[in-house]
Amino acid sequence: MSQAETEEGGDFVLLVSSDGYKFSISRKAAMVSGTLQRMFEGAGLESQSNRVILKDINGVLLEKVCEYLCYNLKHQNNPGNIPEFEIPPEMALELLVASDFLDV
């Protein structure tokens, strides 16, 4: 569904939501999340298959998370002047739990 652009070629990883939606995002963007970074860089199954199943995060939420990962990656080098990241208020609590888990 959501795809991030990478500079050269595609080094993508796959995030799978609890309800089966698959999000392919650039590895760089995924590394924004401390949890995902440890998963992909560890010795586990995830680092071999480049694919993480997030059982506690549903599709809608994961889409927002991916959006944030790309937003963070894009603005990392110029953090002084960035557009606001929009979050629908009804999503805030669930998103907080998810972001707490993902360490973003």
Partner 1 sequence: MSRVRGPNSALTEFLRERGIDALAIRQRYEEAQREQGEGGQNDGAAQEGITEEDGVVTVSSATSSRNSRRQSSEPAARVRSRVSKKKKRDAEDEDDELILDRIARPKPGQIEFCAECNNRFTVTAYSKPARDGGEGLLCHSCGSKYAQEEKKQKKTQISSRKKRKSVAAALLDKQDVMVPKLQDLCIKLIARYIDDVDMLGDIGEVNMDKIARILSRNRSLKDNTVRLFLVPSVKQLRFWDCSNLCSDSYKLIASFCPQLESLVLSMCGQMTDEVLDYFTEKLEHLHAIAFNGAFLIRNPCWINFFTKRGSQLTSVAISNTLRFDRTALQALVDNCADTLEELSLSRVGNIFAADLPLLLKLTKLISLEISYMRDALTDDVIIDILKLIGPQLITLNLDDCDTLSDRVLLEGIRPYCGKLQNLSLGLGENFTNEALATLFRDWEINNGLINVSLMRCTKVGDEGVQALIEHSAKTLVILNINSVYSLTDSTFHLLATSECEFLSQLDIGFVHCVGDKEVEMLSERCPSLQLIEAYGNIRITEVAKMKPGVRLIGRQSDTI
Contacting residues toward partner 1, per CB under 8 A: 65, 68, 71-72, 75-76, 79-82, 85, 87, 89, 92-93, 95-97, 99-100, 102, 104
Comparison of 43 and 92: residue with beta carbon closer to partner 1: 92
C-beta of 35: minimal distance to partner 1 in Å? 12
Q: Sign of the C-alpha dihedral, residues 34, 36, 38, 40? A: negative
C-alpha to C-alpha distances, 18 to 22, 80, 82, 83, 89, nearest whole angstrom: 10, 35, 31, 30, 22
Question: Rounded to the nearest whole angstrom, what is the least distance from the CB of residue 87 to partner 1 in the complex?
Answer: 6
Cβ distance to partner 1 smaller for residue 38 or 47: 38
Interaxial angle between packed helices 92-102 and 59-75, expressed in degrees from 0 to 180 and rounded to the nearest 10: 60
